[in-house]
Structure formats: C-alpha cells, structure tokens
Copies of this chain bind each other. A is one copy, B any other.
C-alpha cells in the first residue's frame, strides 16, 4: 500500500486519470506474458512525459517505492512482474515516433512505440530497422531495448543493442541522463548506452532512444529444406555459414513442433521429417540473392536434405514463414500453460543441443517442441504443460534446469534474447560466475543505490551458500 502522501504526490504528477489503483488495474498489471509469476502492485501509473517520469522517480526515491517499468508486458522472463509491489509504470502514452533523419539514417522514438508500427513507418521510406522479436506486433520499443530483443534476423543483422546509439533515461534520483547521440562513433567514457540496453529496467527508465537504420533490402527469397535427420539439418546450418553465406533468416523447426503446427494450421508441412530449415536471403540485387539461394540449396542437398522448396510467390513465402512465426501461439493452444525458453549455444552445437533437449523431455516425460534461430544458435524449447498440475510442473522446472546446464556445458548461455528476469535468476551464476554477479551488483549500486528499480530481478536476492555450480571461470 502506498502511503497517502506518496499517493497524492503521484496523482498530482500524472493526473487522476493516469493513476490507477483499482482492482482491475492492479490485477491486469500483476503478471506478464510469462507463465506462473504474479504479484499485485500498489498502483499503476501512465506518465505522459520525461518530466513526469522524473517527478515520479523522485517521489519513489523519497518514499523507497519499487518502480517496475513496463511496455506491453510481452516479455517471457517475468521481467515486469512487480515482485516487491510498488508501482508499475506503463509507457504506452509515450509512444511517438519523434523523427526519422534520412541524412543520418537515424530515428528518435519514445519507449511506448509499438515495434511493428515503427517498422512500418521506417519501411515507407525505404529504410529498415532489423530487430523483429516474435511479439513485435504488440511489443514496445522501450521493452525491446530493456530486454535487448532479438528475433529472426539476428544472424545477419544483429539485435536491438546493435541499433541503439543514444538514450535519454531517468535515474532513480529523478535526474535525466543523455547518452550517445546521432553518432556512429563515440568513445567518450564507458558506453552507458550499450549497458542500459538489456538492463531489464533495473538501472534507469528510458524515455527516448536514438536508433540506427539501414537501407531496406530490395529483394527477398524464402525456401524450406527438409531433413530426416536433425544432425544433417544442423550440419547444413554450419555449412552455409562456413561457405561464407549469411542468410537473413535461418530457422530450425523440429518434428514435435512440425506436428503441432500442422495439426492446428494445415499448412501442408512435412510431419514425417525430423526437422526442417526455413531460410531467407535478402539483398539489394535479385541476381545476387538468387545466387546465394542456389548455393544454399546445393549445400542443403549435399548435407542430406530430402527435399528443398523455394517459395514461388510472396503469399507462399508468408505461408512458409507462418510455420515458424505461429509456432509459439499454436503450441499455446494445446494445453493451459506454455513454457518457452531461449537457451543459446554456439551455432556448431545446435544438433547436440536439440538431441539433449529431446533426451531431457523423454526423461521427464514432457512434450517439448524445439524451434528457433538456428543461424545464431538461439533455440526455443517450448513445453506445453499445465502449471496447476504441481507434480508435472515440477518436472518441467527440473527439465529446464537441465536444459540450461546443457547449454552452458556446450559453451552457450541460459538466455539468448528473452532476458533473465525472475525465471532465470537462479541460473545466472552458471553463466557469469559469482564474481560476475558481484560486478553486476556493483553496477546496479552505481545507478540505483536504494534498489528501487525493478528489484528482485536478474540475480537471486541471496546467492545461497552450498549451491555453487561449476562456472565458466578458470
């Protein structure tokens, strides 16, 4: 519960209509797209400007009220669940595309702007903002920045952090900091811009961002390659890149996923295959793209693809990609709870990783569908389950713990693009070690000495003694 003085101050800042603490508002902001986690906040705020965000943070600092920044709440790590109560601050009123600068190839946006709306505006000018997380039709740019969102184009084009070159952000004290700018090169001190990207709302609240844009590719070709053996599919992925071709998209879909997607969507997918690869190449010149696709087809066949098909039209390409883009929502229709993770390994380890995921699924008697961004080793083992079945859900948790362990043992990481949030906090030490966590906590203190910004996230509250695992340290 907020005390009356704090409550009155906050209402005075954002206005009655943008301060909510009725049951509906509190409950609908008590969870996000992640299953299981829920905690009721004390209030939900919808600030309309940087000045309001600053004033809210001053009050929060004074009264030591936790602040959870929130875009669309589409994250998959429990990142916006207000586990310590306090205020959920939603940025959806600050949703303007402030500028597209075609001389400098930059855009300036507010955090509440919907990602796919931004894509559309940029594309109208023949420009391109590559990050395309699965949730892009509802996710916000601010959320993407806080989670360093990836997507299907990561291999060729990188992720959100590669595109953010300037930020305006509000510190817990209410002070406003500006980092970077319309600058392709800037080495004035530590790179606070890149540090804030992916900081999961724990260091500052972003109120404006400057991002780089690229010239839009003019042509694209989409193809599918089918395999009776996942190792052959995985070898193909390494071989394509090893042959110095970087496709725009290089997605993997396993048999379990194929069967579920086909059952519900009737796309004509080959459900007898062990795996398929969905491959897109884009570029400025049709002949170059077609040359790449031809070479990719040769590699697919050499590595044992049973069949290869090129989409003959945009509609057909969209339909093929639908098998991948719709996988999560289709799996979500099978059972009440969908548990998706994003363990990531070096590209060359994908087959081993998928094999281990399948063994783990069998061991714990679970249905785990695996698909994902094979080109950058970023897999999405996705379990259809029911969180209300405590016995089964315990098996799910044990299975994912083993999946994280397997990823780390293969030189990978516990999270490639979803963030740590609540769900992976217990495992962070496996990747970054105890000293890595200590350094991160020191960075947190530099920004947020009173721990009011999204408390309880990224690392566990207490690192339990006796639970130290092998880390990546020598």
Chain A contacts to B: CB under 8 angstroms = 50, 101-106, 126-127, 147-148, 150, 154-155, 158-159, 161-162, 168, 171, 175-179, 181-192, 194-195, 197-199, 214-216, 238, 241-242, 244-246, 284-285, 287-288, 291, 344-348, 373, 375-378, 411-420, 424, 428, 431-433, 435-437, 439-443, 445-447, 458-459, 472-474
Contacts and interface: CB of A to CB of B under 8 A. Distances in A.
B190 A440 contact: yes
A185 B445 contact: no
Contacts of A244: 126-127, 215-216
A376 B185 contact: yes
B192 A194 contact: no
Given A185-B150, A198-B191, A285-B291, A436 B103 contact: no
A216 B159 CA distance: 22
Nearest to A427: B188
A347 B428 contact: no
A145 to B, nearest CB: 12
Contacts of A183: 344-346, 376-377, 411-413, 416
Nearest to A160: B187
A124 B23 CA distance: 65
A376 B185 CA distance: 7
Contact of A177 (B101, B150, B420, B439): B439
A442 B445 contact: yes
A237 to B, nearest CB: 9
A474 B419 contact: no
A342 to B, nearest CB: 8
A259 to B, nearest CB: 27
Nearest to A148: B187
